[in-house]
């Protein structure tokens, strides 16, 4: 077999595999080009997860008519002129490969008018070959439409992930760059439906509200300019390690308090000179800053921006440009860890680390969710009705003697003794007297157990009873949560929820489980979405268990709530009827028992 030189078209298609792996890659490259062009507004329209079409329109500087065809040649770029420029890259794009790679595996139409030109140019390409060009009227800026991606490479098309997966990745990409460039108005639509948009106010906090919702956004701690300082940077290869380079590195951004934590590390978002990067060492630095502050295997929320001289960071590591190398890796690692830790110590006292907040820690060891609760503030805890069963209101919950409970009736060995109410201490522990001693009952843990077993019994009989709300409650979700909601609607209906679409990434809550009717509906939906997010890899039975625990934990009486005597007596009565009254669904004890003998020993009587 003879050795041949590949044709330009075939070489371009092979090279495209490094740059254009999937629709997400196309969006990333075109979005970065629009940002480099100085755009103030960028509209991104995706059809069928990017398989059918991707269109990005910006109002940037545009492409001059005499350069528009050159832009689609391999290694053609306006961002590098000399070798020295490669050592100090200040733009997101620079390799000159993206447009050629995209055009070689799709059908591309570009309309652009450069600043100062009287008209625009429309250029069409198929598989990288020009198929048409004409002069058209157009506003300043560029519109690029990429259609039928990988139509000429069936092997690549066959291995594409689902549209849902591509949508999730594109949503993540756009929201990340909205954080890095809050002055740009970004709008993202999928199949004509707006899933994200930022107002271009220039304030990162406004973008954070759009992504995470106001309840989480208002809890975030800002890393201020006080964490800006010069750091020593070790010499590069070939230099003495003692070479005294002093490189000013600035760290800014927002981090979550210890009460907001997640099951995965993907809510730690890093930017270096405006570029979204993935760096395991810097991610680890953020995690280490939270050492001893988070439950095991939980991860914080962090949006960090590093600014340093371009010559001190190498972005030409991989064609995707998401990996970087620093001159002296320990310099940014130490600064990031120190900045995060100092902010935590100053602004998030450890005593507040366990405070509940919507979208954050719903149960001990449970993560927060990267979602958006209802914009209305939840009512004060004093106004919330208690949600355990009331025998005077049979429509609110399953009676302990109902048929559904008969299947899970407790055995005499598992029941608690009859207890007499004594009172409440600390607003969280109920004191009762038993036959041979005292019980200190954790009211929140006990109520979790009661609600959990109620819901479990109702589901065993078919589905949970639901309470229709007099007024619906709108709850905002992230795009990813909207996808999860569509997927798990049947399970949520069985659990007692009625959730209806109500605009882009918003649902209207029409009904909730009757056992949890006293809980704020937005808070309840928040907890359920959190359980769905962290349950992606769970089996159906495990996911159902997680949802039950989320509803029970959220609807249970708060641990600092003063209770009336009849409320405490009703809780005690239902705890006595539980199949497993000794622990809550997460395994924590519901009560502590102090025998008369123990008390006598403490008083030195025996």
Q: What is the pLDDT of residues 583-606, one digit of tens each?
A: 788 777 888 888 888 888 888 887
**Separation CA 252–CA 165 (nearest Å):** 31
Packing angle of the helix pair 540-555, 443-460 (nearest 10 deg): 140
Across the strands, what pairs with 594? Answer: 438
The pLDDT, as a whole number, for residue 588 is: 77
State the Cα torsion 464-468-473-476 to the nearest 10°.
Answer: 30
CA distances from 52 to 107, 145, 146 (A): 10, 10, 8
Most confident of 221-225, 388-392, 572-576: 572-576
Task: Kindly report, residue by residue over 288-339, the tens digit of the pLDDT.
Answer: 888 767 766 789 999 999 988 887 777 666 656 666 777 765 568 888 999 9
- CA-closest candidate to residue 224, choices 402, 390, 325, 343: 343
**Separation CA 24–CA 42 (nearest Å):** 16
Coil/strand/helix, residue 258: coil
Q: How far is CA 535 from the centre of its chain?
A: 14
Domain residue limits, the chain: 8-199, 221-233+247-352, 381-595
Residue 242 has pLDDT above 60, yes or no: no
**Separation CA 296–CA 283 (nearest Å):** 16
Fold of 381-595: formyl-coa transferase, domain 3 (3.30.1540)
- The pair phi, psi for residue 531, each rounded to 5°, is -65, -40
The pLDDT, as a whole number, for residue 27 is: 95
Q: What is the mean pLDDT of the chain?
A: 79
The pLDDT, as a whole number, for residue 318 is: 60
- The mean-pLDDT minimum among 65-69, 155-159, 206-210, 401-405 falls in 401-405
**Separation CA 175–CA 196 (nearest Å):** 8
* Rounded (to 5) percent helix, strand, coil in the chain: 35, 25, 40
**Separation CA 344–CA 147 (nearest Å):** 47
Q: Which residues contact 531 (CB under 8 A, 6 or more apart)?
A: 543, 546, 547, 549, 550
Give DSSP secondary structure letters for 384-416.
Answer: SPP-S--TT-TTTS--TTSHHHHTTPPPGGGSP
- CA-closest candidate to residue 525, choices 359, 395, 389: 359
More confident residue, 366 or 122: 122
Please tell us whether the domain made up of 221-233+247-352 is placed in CATH 3.30.230.10. Answer: yes
**Separation CA 162–CA 425 (nearest Å):** 55
Report the side by side order of strands in the sheet with 466-476.
466-476, 506-513, 498-501
Coil/strand/helix, residue 354: coil
- The pLDDT confidence band at residue 154, using thresholds 50, 70 and 90, is confident
The pLDDT, as a whole number, for residue 141 is: 95
Same CATH fold, 381-595 and 221-233+247-352? Answer: no
- The pLDDT confidence band at residue 10, using thresholds 50, 70 and 90, is low
Buried b (16+ CB within 10 A) or exposed e, 326-335: bbbeebbbeb
Residue 243 has pLDDT above 70, yes or no: no
The one-character DSSP state at 182 is T
Across the strands, what pairs with 248? Answer: 230
The alpha carbons of the chain give a radius of gyration, in whole angstroms, of 29
The pLDDT, as a whole number, for residue 259 is: 76
- CA-closest candidate to residue 480, choices 449, 458, 505: 505
Cβ proximity of 593 and 438 under 8 Å: yes
Cβ proximity of 254 and 204 under 8 Å: yes
CA distances from 153 to 45, 77, 104, 245, 257 (A): 23, 26, 10, 49, 48
**Separation CA 472–CA 465 (nearest Å):** 18
Residue 415 has pLDDT above 80, yes or no: no
The one-character DSSP state at 351 is G
Helix boundaries (H) for 219-329: 280-289
Cβ proximity of 198 and 210 under 8 Å: yes
**Which CATH code of 1.20.1440.230, 3.40.1390.10, 3.30.565.10, 3.40.50.1100 fits the domain covering 8-199?**
3.30.565.10
CA distances from 170 to 49, 109, 175, 195, 302 (A): 9, 21, 9, 11, 20
């Amino acid at each position: 077999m003879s050795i041949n030189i590949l044709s330009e078209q075939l070489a371009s298609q092979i090279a495209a595999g490094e740059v254009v792996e999937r629709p997400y890659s196309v969006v990333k490259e075109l979005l970065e080009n629009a940002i480099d062009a100085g755009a103030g507004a960028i509209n991104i329209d995706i059809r069928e997860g990017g398989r059918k079409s991707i269109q990005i329109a910006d109002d940037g500087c545009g492409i001059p008519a005499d350069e528009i065809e050159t832009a689609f040649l391999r290694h053609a770029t306006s961002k590098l002129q000399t070798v020295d420029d490669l050592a100090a890259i200040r733009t997101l794009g620079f390799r000159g490969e993206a447009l050629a790679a995209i055009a070689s595996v799709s059908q591309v139409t570009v309309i652009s008018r450069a600043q100062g030109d009287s008209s625009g140019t429309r250029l069409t390409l198929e598989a990288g070959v020009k198929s048409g060009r004409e002069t058209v009227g157009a506003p300043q800026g560029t519109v690029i439409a990429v259609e039928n991606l990988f139509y000429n490479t069936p092997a690549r098309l066959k291995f594409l992930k689902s549209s849902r997966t591509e949508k999730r990745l594109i949503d993540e990409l756009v929201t990340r760059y909205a954080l890095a460039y809050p002055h740009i108005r970004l709008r993202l639509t999928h199949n004509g439906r707006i899933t994200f948009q930022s107002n271009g106010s220039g304030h990162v906090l406004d973008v954070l509200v759009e992504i995470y919702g106001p309840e989480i956004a208002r809890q975030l701690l800002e890393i201020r300019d006080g964490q800006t300082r010069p750091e020593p940077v070790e010499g590069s290869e070939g230099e003495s390690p003692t070479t005294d380079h002093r490189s000013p590195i600035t760290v800014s951004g927002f981090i979550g308090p210890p009460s907001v934590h997640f099951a995965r590390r993907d809510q730690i978002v890093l930017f270096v000179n405006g570029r979204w990067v993935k760096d395991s060492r810097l991610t680890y630095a953020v995690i280490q800053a939270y050492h001893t502050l988070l439950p095991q295997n939980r991860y914080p929320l962090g949006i960090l921006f590093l600014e340093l001289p371009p010559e001190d960071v190498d972005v030409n590591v991989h064609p995707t440009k998401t990996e970087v190398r620093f001159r002296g890796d320990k310099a940014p690692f130490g600064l990031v860890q120190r900045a995060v830790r100092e902010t935590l110590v100053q602004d998030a006292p450890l005593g507040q680390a366990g405070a509940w907040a919507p979208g954050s820690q719903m149960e001990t060891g449970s993560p927060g969710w990267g979602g958006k609760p209802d914009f209305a503030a939840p009512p004060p805890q004093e106004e919330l009705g208690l949600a355990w069963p009331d025998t005077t209101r049979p429509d609110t919950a399953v009676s302990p003697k109902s048929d559904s409970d008969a299947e899970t009736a407790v055995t005499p060995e598992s029941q608690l003794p009859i207890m007499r109410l004594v009172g409440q201490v600390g607003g969280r522990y109920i004191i009762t007297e038993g036959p041979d001693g005292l019980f200190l009952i954790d009211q929140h843990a006990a109520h979790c157990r009661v609600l959990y077993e109620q819901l479990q019994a109702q589901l065993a009989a078919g589905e949970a009873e639901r309470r229709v709300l007099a007024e619906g409650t709108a709850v905002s979700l992230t795009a990813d949560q909207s996808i999860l909601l569509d997927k798990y609607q049947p399970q949520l209906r069985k659990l007692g929820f009625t959730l209806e679409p109500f605009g882009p990434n918003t649902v209207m809550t029409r009904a909730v489980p009757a056992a949890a009717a006293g809980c704020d509906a937005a808070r309840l939906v928040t907890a359920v979405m959190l359980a769905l997010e962290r349950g992606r890899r769970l089996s159906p039975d495990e996911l159902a268990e997680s949802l039950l625990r989320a509803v029970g934990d959220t609807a249970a009486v708060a641990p600092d709530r003063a209770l009336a005597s009849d409320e405490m007596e009703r809780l005690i009565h239902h705890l006595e009827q539980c199949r497993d009254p000794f622990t809550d669904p997460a395994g924590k004890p519901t009560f502590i028992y102090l025998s008369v003998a123990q008390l006598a020993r403490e008083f030195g009587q025996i």
